[in-house]
Amino acid sequence: MYKFEKVHYKNIINIEKLTIHENLVTSIVGPSGSGKTTFIRLLNKLISPDEGDIIYMGKRLMEWDSVELRRKVVMLPQQPAIYSGTVRDNLLKGLLYSEREPVSDDVLLKMLESVKLNKDLEDDAELLSGGEKQRLALGRVLLMEPEVLLLDEPSSALDDKTELMIIEEVVDYTRRNNKTLVMVTHSNRIAEDFSDQIIRISPDEPVQIREVSR
Amino acid sequence: MSNDIMNLQLWQIGAAYVFIALLLVIVRRRGIGREREILIASIRMTLQLVLVGYVLVYIFESTHPLMTILAVGVMEAFAIDNIFKRTKEKLSGKLKKIIAFSMVTGTLTSILYFLFVVIRIYPWFNPQYFIPIAGMIIGNSMTGISLGVKGIAEGMRNQRALVESSLMLGATPARASREIVNSAFDSAILPTINSMVGMGIVSLPGMMTGQILSGTSPLIATKYQIAIMLGIVGSVALSVILFVILGYRTFFNQEDQLIQTDN
């Protein structure tokens, strides 16, 4: 699905060759400061490499329209933004921004249930706790039904339960719908437990790829 | 009552400097230490006004349209330079070009409409109308664009994470910056809107005061004041909207990515 060829970015990312497979869960691991977040920001073209090519679905990223790509490859960042307004406004934001039809309240309520957010659609989103905001942002992203989901590990400010819940939910979505997930994690344990492929990156060493048999 | 303005003799102007002397005495007695600034400000004010007075006399006496065009050009240039200097944010070269473009396009459109459609001046370059009206319109639009620049630059800096979040959800740069653009426009035109509210009650506007002093009937002065106020509103709105809808784009590159800032 993704192919890296001699990709360099500001001395942070130096990858000679790498493939990320379709319909699988891939974890990106590495010590802090190893460029994990930078790596996934390359995948939805929030940034572009200084040198080399990244190929998505057979087409070089530089030939993809960035906005079109980001509507297929959606990223849930470490600290997702919550927009002022209600829980409903926030859930619908992704569909609105990617210029798609909004969904009914029934669909939204089901989504709240599946991300285990026990809130009303009318509730003020800015009053939610950190963990609740993260789950709201996850619901927002899942409603967009992305082909590829990019997950930066939830902020360390969150409790482990929320973090695990979010990863479980995302992995479940990926496997059920035959989608692709690329997630950044600091935890080898999480990587081992959930992924099919583990990529260890570091600015100074070649990438290490390991398949996990499931 | 004569309708002619009373000219001032040199000694009369000299007598007015008593006020500056008074201010200097106060500042000196109380040890506030502002004498230097007060002196420089008074001297600058005097020299600049004398100079501009002679320049205007020269332009008014010449019958060449180029003089009027030149004067408006100089005003535009000073106004644009002033916007660059007033802004504390670092401005990119592209943004500076957009500031200049919006300023010139917005003000010239309003000035020409105002002079040729509303007032219908004759001859078309009549400096007696052209220059003061262009000055008022350019000055107010300058303030408007300065506020717009501040709004956009601060918004893009403080709300960077929010803008990027919107990009991640598939928003176009225009959609991702819409709230910033709208709020910059709003805060840029608000002072102009507010200035209409107190007009004529709190104080008499400068142009109206000037016309009345020079012997114009207050009713004619009122008509001019209303018309110029509307022209100013139009010009501020036009130049600021041009600036904000073009300006936000300079914070993104061709790949619809937020341009990295190294700070």
The confidence band for B68, taking pLDDT boundaries of 50, 70 and 90, is very high
- The minimal CB distance from A94 to the residues B164, B170, B260 is found for B170
Question: Rounded mean pLDDT of B123-152?
Answer: 95
Does residue A214 have a pLDDT over 80? Answer: no
Q: To the nearest whole angstrom, how far is the Cα of B159 from the nearest Cα of chain A?
A: 10
Give, rounded to a whole angstrom, the gap between the first and last alpha carbons of chain B: 67
The sign of the CA dihedral A62, A66, A70, A76 is positive
Q: Which of A47, A48, A93 sits opposite B169 (nearest CB)?
A: A93
pLDDT at position B262 is 56
* Same domain assignment for residues B133 and B220: yes
pLDDT top residue among B102 and B87: B102
Domain match, B161 and B90 both: yes
Q: Which of B168, B170, B255 lies at the smallest CB-CB distance from A77?
A: B168
Decide if A83 and B164 are in contact by the 8 Å CB cutoff. Answer: no
Residue B3's pLDDT is 60
pLDDT of residue A161: 77
Pick B101 or A190 by higher pLDDT. Answer: B101
The Cβ of residue A207 has, within 10 Å, a number of other Cβ atoms equal to 18
Is residue B73 helix, strand or coil? helix
pLDDT for A133: 92
Chain A positions touching chain B (beta carbons under 8 Å): 44-48, 62, 66-67, 70-71, 74-77, 79-81, 83, 93-94, 97-99, 140-141, 144
- Residue B212 tokens read as 């009345």
The answer to whether the Cβ–Cβ distance between A97 and B161 falls below 8 Å is no
What confidence score (pLDDT) does residue B28 get?
95
* CB pair distance less than 8 Å for B162 and A97: no
Tens digits of per-residue pLDDT, B129-141? 999 999 999 999 9
Count the residues in chain B.
263
Looking at every residue in chain A, the average pLDDT score rounds to: 92
If asked whether residues B223 and B142 sit together in one domain, one would say yes
Answer whether residue B89 shows pLDDT above 50.
Answer: yes
pLDDT for A157 equals 61
In a domain, B77, yes or no: yes
Nearest CA in chain B to A75: B168
What is the per-residue pLDDT for A73? 97
Q: With b meaning 16 or more CB within 10 Å and e meaning fewer, what string describes B58-87? A: ebeeeeeeebbeebbeebbeebbeebeeeb
Of B164, B175, B256, the CB nearest to A97: B175
CA-atom Rg of chain B in angstroms: 22
List of chain A residues whose C-beta atoms are within 8 Å of the C-beta of residue B256: 45, 66-67
Instruction: For B102-169, give the DSSP string.
Output: HHHHHHHHHHHHIIIIII--SSTT-HHHHHHHHHHHHHHHHHHHHHHHHHHHHHHHHTHHHHHHHHHT
Instruction: Please report the pLDDT score of residue A162 as a whole number.
Output: 77
Average pLDDT, whole number, for chain B?
A: 93
CATH number for the domain harbouring residue A126: 3.40.50.300
The answer to whether A118 touches A146, Cβ cutoff 8 Å, is: no
**B56 plus B70 within the same structural domain:** no
Q: Do B255 and A44 touch (CB under 8 A)?
A: no
Are B147 and B187 a contacting pair, CB within 8 Å? yes
B interface test, pick of A38, A70, A78 with most B CB neighbours within 10 Å? A70
Q: Percent of chain A beyond pLDDT 90?
A: 74
In this structure, of A29-43, A145-159, B106-120, B125-139, the range with the lowest mean pLDDT score is A145-159
Residue B263 has pLDDT above 50, yes or no: no
Percentage of residues in chain B having pLDDT higher than 70: 98
Residue B20 lies in domain: 1-61
Q: Is B51 within a domain?
A: yes
Together in a domain, B51 and B101 = no
- Per the structure, how many domains does chain A have? 1
- pLDDT tens, position by position, A160-191: 777 888 888 899 999 999 999 999 998 888 89
The DSSP bridge partners found for residue A184 are: A28
pLDDT reading at B13 higher than 50: yes
Q: What sections of chain B are H helices per DSSP?
A: 10-16, 18-29, 35-61, 65-86, 93-113, 127-158, 160-168, 173-176, 178-198, 206-213, 218-247
Within 8 A of A44 by CB-CB distance, chain B residues are 168
Question: Number of folded domains in chain B?
Answer: 2
Same domain, B87 and B196: yes
> Does residue B41 fall inside a structural domain?
yes
Considering only the beta carbons, identify the residue of A62, A67, A80 that sits closest to B170. Answer: A67
Assess if residue B260 is contained within a domain. no
pLDDT at B1 > cutoff 70: no
The pLDDT of A120-125, averaged and rounded, is 96
Q: Are residues B25 and B72 in the same domain?
A: no
Average pLDDT over residues B230-248: 97
pLDDT of residue A158: 67
B102 and B40 within one domain: no
Which of B260 and B175 is assigned the larger pLDDT? B175
Domain that holds residue A6: 2-211
Q: How close does chain B come to A157, measured CA to CA in Å?
A: 18
Measured between CA atoms, the residue of chain B closest to residue A41 is: B168
* Chain B residue set in contact with A, beta carbons under 8 Å: 161-162, 164-172, 175-176, 255-258, 260
Question: Of A48, A75, A80, which has the smallest distance from its Cβ to B257's Cβ?
Answer: A48
Same domain for B221 and B195? yes
Q: Looking at this predicted complex, what is its ipTM?
A: 0.93
Residue where a domain stops, chosen among B29, B61, B93: B61
Instruction: Tell me whether residue B88 is in a domain.
Output: yes
Q: How far is B251 from chain A (nearest CA, A)?
A: 13
Looking at the structure, do residues B123 and B43 belong to the same domain, yes or no?
no
Nearest to A43 by CA among A193, A185, A206, A184: A184
Distance CA A193, CA B6 (A): 93
Verify that B27 and B124 share a domain, yes or no: no
Are B132 and B245 part of one and the same domain? yes
